[in-house]
Structures are given as structure tokens and as C-alpha cells.
Amino acid sequence: MFEIPFLRPNLVKKEQFLTYYEKIEATRIYSNYGPLNDLFEERVITEMFGGTGSAVTVHNATVGLMVAISQSKRSKGKYAIMPSFTFAATPLPHNGVDLNLIS
């Protein structure tokens, strides 16, 4: 039998993010809405969607799921299907968007 690396972090080497850290230090903006956040959103649009569309960053995955579900929900839809093995907070966003969950 072989070992499957499950939830093992693969951290970025400091040389790869040092220039970004220096930009953070120069602007003194350590959270959202800074120049690096804007750069990240622009790169997501460019590299993942060919420069078309928009992106928004959120402060955690639960809020991201709530935004995604609320913006893609069909007018008569009331069910959300998700795998039974998923992030622990995945079922939580349905409280704010009126869905019944099926796993």
C-alpha cells in the first residue's frame, strides 16, 4: 500500500513571495482592498477567464459560497446538491439563501 498525502500543505518558498511582501510593506495595507488584492483579482480574471468577467475576493470560504449561491440561484430552485465529504461549513450558506440541501 502507498501513502496518499491528504491535507498536507505545500507552502510557497519565501523567494517566490518576497517581492509581494515588500509591496505590502511599502503600502502598509495588510488586508483587503490594497494594491495586491486588486492585482490578485486582475490576475484571476486574466489567467483563468481570458480577461473576461469579474472577480471578487471574500474573507472566508463560507461567505464565498453564500455569494456564489445567491448570485447563481434560479428563481424556482430550492435544492443544492453537494458531496457528502466536503468542507465543514459548506451547508451553512443555505441559511441565508433559502435552499434545501441534498448530500
Contact 103, 80 (CB under 8 A): no
What is the spatial distance between Cα 79 and Cα 70, in angstroms, rounded to a whole number?
12
* pTM of the predicted model as reported, rounded to 2 decimal places: 0.58
Q: 4 — phi, psi (to 5°)? A: -100, 120
pLDDT tens-digit readout, 25-45: 998 887 777 888 888 999 999
Instruction: Give 31-80 pLDDT, tens digit per residue.
Output: 777 888 888 999 999 999 999 998 888 887 777 877 877 777 667 766 66
